[in-house]
Amino acid sequence: MLEARAFEPDFLRRLDGLMLGVQRARTVRAGRRTLGRVQGLGIEPENFREYTEGDDLRFLDWNAFARLDELMIRTFRAEREVEVTILVDASASMGVPAGDDKLGLALGLGAALAYVAMASNDAVRLGIFTATRMGGTRLHNSPFHRRRELYPAFRPFVTGVRCGGETRMADAVGRLLLERRGGGVAILISDFLVSAGEYQQALDRLLAARHEVKVVHVLGEREANGDYPPGSYRLRDSESGEICEVAIGPAAAQACRRRAERLSSELAQYCANHGVIYSRAFGAAHFEEIIMREFPRLGVMR
Amino acid sequence: MGLLNPRNLVYLASLAVLVAIYLRARAKPTLEVSSLMLFEELSAPMASSRVLRTDLLFWLEAAALGALAMALAGLYVLRPPPPAHHARRAFVFDLGAGMSARDGRTTRIEEARRAALDLVNSARPGDSFSVIGYALEAAVRQAPSAHQAAVRRTIEALQPMALPARAAALRTALMEARGAAEIDVFADRPATGDALSAAGPGVRVHFHQVGAPQGNLAIIALESGAVGSSQGHLIVRNLSEQARLCELTVDLDSKEVLHITTVLDPRGQSVVPFGPLKHGGVVHAHILTPDPLAADNERWAYASNDKPDKVLVLSPDPDVRDDLARVLLAVNQNLIVTTADPAKFRLAGTPRYRLAVIHDAYDPGIDAAARLVIYPQPWLEHSPPPAGQLPVVGSVAMAEMQERGADQTLGQPLLLSPARILALPSWMSVVARGTDAASSASFALAAFGYDARGATGLLAFNVRDHLLLDPDKLEALVLTIDMVKRLLAPQELQIVSTGDAVSVPASASATIIAPDGSAHTVRADAIGRVHLRPLEAGRYEIVSSAGRSVVYANYFDAAESDISAAASARPARPSAPARPTTKAESAGTMHVAPLAPWLIALALAAMLVESALLARKAMRWRVRNV
- B587: closest CA of chain A, how far (Å): 54
Nearest to A90, CA basis, from A177, A218, A185:
A218
CB-CB contact of A157 with A189 (8 Å)? no
CA distances from B43 to A199, A233, A255, B26, B40 (A): 27, 16, 8, 21, 8
Predicted local distance difference test score (pLDDT) of residue B195: 75
Distances (CA, A) of A115 to A3, A152, B367: 13, 9, 151
Decide if A252 touches B, using CB distance below 8 A.
yes
Residue B5 predicted with pLDDT over 90: no
pLDDT number for residue B38: 87
Q: Which of B39, B46, B621 faces A256 most closely, judged by CB atoms?
A: B39
Helix (H, G, I), strand (E, B) or coil at B464: coil
For the ranges B95-104, B476-485, B597-606, B613-622, the lowest mean pLDDT is seen at B613-622
At B559, give phi and psi (nearest 5°): -80, -45
- One DSSP character per residue, B446-463 reads EEEEEETTEEEEEE-B--
Task: Name the amino acid, one letter, at B473.
Answer: K
Tell me if chain B has a CB within 8 Å of the CB of A263.
Answer: yes
B40 touches chain A (CB under 8 A): yes
The helix (run of H) or strand (run of E) holding residue B580 is strand B579-581
Q: Quickly list DSSP for chain A.
A: -GGGGGG-HHHHHHHTT--B---SSB---SSS--BTEEEEEEEEEEEEEE--TT--GGGB-HHHHHHHSS-EEEEEEEE---EEEEEEE-SGGGG-SGGG-HHHHHHHHHHHHHHHHHTTT-EEEEEEEEE-TTS-EEEEEPPPB-SGGGGGGHHHHHHT----S---HHHHHHHHHTT-PPP-EEEEEE---S-HHHHHHHHHHHHHTT-EEEEEEEE-HHHHHT---SEEEEEEETTT--EEEEEESHHHHHHHHHHHHHHHHHHHHHHHHTT-EEEEEE-GGGHHHIIIIIHHHHTSB-
Looking at residues B224-235, what average pLDDT do you find?
85
Give the model's pLDDT for residue A33: 38
Please check whether residue B55 touches A, CB under 8 A.
Answer: no
Interchain CB distance below 8 Å, B28 and A233: yes
Q: How far apart are CA B163 and CA B497, in angstroms?
A: 9
Residue in chain B closest to A103 (alpha carbons) equals: B34
Instruction: Count other C-beta atoms under 10 Å from residue A90's C-beta.
Output: 27
Distance from CA of B25 to the nearest CA of A (A): 9
Q: Please give the Cα distance from B416 to B398 (Å, whole number).
A: 7
Q: By percentage, how much of chain B surpasses pLDDT 90?
A: 20
| B45 near A CB under 8 A | yes
Question: B411 falls in which pLDDT band (50, 70, 90)?
Answer: low
Q: What are the φ and ψ backbone dihedral angles of A122, each rounded to 5 degrees?
A: -75, 150
Q: CA–CA separation, A265 vs B20, rounded Å?
A: 46
Residue B143, C-beta contacts closer than 8 angstroms, at least 6 positions apart: B130
CA distance B272 to B248: 10
Whether a cis peptide bond, with omega within 30° of 0, leads into A97 is yes
What residues in A contact B31, CB-CB < 8 Å? 228, 233-236
Rounded to 5 degrees, φ, ψ at A267 are: -65, -45
Q: How high is the pLDDT of residue A245? A: 80
Name the nearest CA neighbour of B187 among B214, B160, B162.
Answer: B160
Q: How far is CA B297 from CA A185, B22, B237, B250, in A?
A: 129, 73, 10, 12
Are the Cβ atoms of B29 and A233 closer than 8 angstroms? yes
Closest CA to A161 of A123, A192, A203, A189: A189
Domains, chain B = 2-79+595-621 (no CATH), 88-213+565-589 (3.40.50.410), 227-297 (2.60.40), 310-488 (3.40.50), 489-557 (2.60.40)
Predicted confidence at residue B407, as pLDDT, reads 53
B27 and chain A in contact, CB less than 8 A: no
Residue A204 has pLDDT above 50, yes or no: yes
What tens digit of pLDDT does each residue of B543-602 get?
888 788 899 999 988 888 888 765 444 444 443 444 444 443 444 456 778 888 899 999
Between the two ends of chain B, the Cα-to-Cα distance in Å is 39
Chain segment B301-360, per-residue pLDDT in tens = 888 777 788 999 999 999 999 999 999 988 888 889 999 999 888 888 888 899 999 999
Per-residue pLDDT at A81 = 66
Check B26 against A236: CB less than 8 A apart: no
Tell me which chain A residue has its CA closest to the CA of residue B34. A93
Among A90, A140, A143, smallest CA distance to A118 is for: A143
Three-state DSSP at B417 gives coil
Residues 183-222 of A with CB under 8 A from B: 191, 193, 220
With an 8 Å Cβ cutoff, is A251 touching chain B? yes
Contact yes or no for B28 and A244 at CB 8 A: no
Rounded average pLDDT over A13-28: 68
pLDDT in tens, B273-313: 998 888 888 899 999 988 888 889 999 988 877 778 899 99
Assess B38–A contact: CB distance below 8 Å, yes or no: yes
Q: Return the pLDDT at B621.
A: 53
Residues of B in contact with A259 (CB under 8 A): 37-41
Closest CB to B34 among A96, A229, A242: A96
**Contact assignment for B34 to A94 by CB distance below 8 Å:** yes
Using CB atoms, pick whichever of A232, A234, A262 lies closest to residue B53. A232
Q: pLDDT tens for residues B496-510?
A: 888 887 888 787 788
Lowest mean pLDDT, pick from B72-86, B147-161, B516-530 = B72-86
pLDDT at residue number B50: 46
Contact criterion met (CB < 8 Å) for B36 and A94: no
DSSP string, B174-233: HHHTTTSSEEEEEESSPPPHHHHGGG-TT-EEEEEE-------EEEEEEE---TTTS-EE
* Contact between A234 and B34 using a beta-carbon 8 Å cutoff: no
Q: Cβ neighbours of residue A206 under 8 Å, at least 6 residues apart?
A: A173, A177, A186, A188, A213
User: Mean pLDDT, to the nearest integer, of B166-182?
Assistant: 85
| CB spacing of B30 vs A255 below 8 angstroms | no
Helix (H, G, I), strand (E, B) or coil at B239: coil
Burial of B576 (0-12, 13-18, 19+ CB in 10 A): middle
- Closest chain A residue to B623 measured between Cα atoms? A229
Among A7-21, B23-37, B596-610, the range scoring the smallest mean pLDDT is B23-37
- Give CA A121 to chain center in angstroms: 16
Instruction: Compute the residue count for chain B.
Output: 626
If you average pLDDT over residues B222-232, what whole number do you get?
A: 84
Decide if A129 contacts A141 (C-beta within 8 A). no
What pLDDT is attached to residue A42?
55
Interface with chain A: mutation pick from B23, B30, B36, highest number of A CBs within 10 Å:
B36
Does the complex come out with an ipTM higher than 0.95? no
Q: Do residue B39 and residue A245 have CB atoms under 8 angstroms apart?
A: no
Q: Do A96 and B37 touch (CB under 8 A)?
A: no
Domains and CATH numbers, chain A: 2-23+81-298 (3.40.50.410), 37-79 (no CATH)
Q: Which residue has the higher pLDDT, B54 or A192?
A: A192
Q: How far apart are CA A109 and CA A107, in angstroms?
A: 5
DSSP structure string for B329-394: HHH-TT-EEEEE-TTT---TT---BSEEEEESS------BSEEEEESPPP--SSSPPPTTPPPEEE
CB A2 within 8 A of CB A106: no
Task: Select from B209, B210, B203 the least CA-distant residue to B579.
Answer: B203
Q: What does pTM read for this prediction?
A: 0.51
- Nearest-CA distance from B69 to chain A in Å? 29
Closest residue of A to B620, CA-based? A250
pLDDT of residue B586: 45
Looking at residue A233, what is its pLDDT?
82
Rounded Cα distance between B567 and B564, Å, is 8
B515 vs A259, B166, B510, B535, B540, CA distance in Å? 106, 24, 16, 10, 6
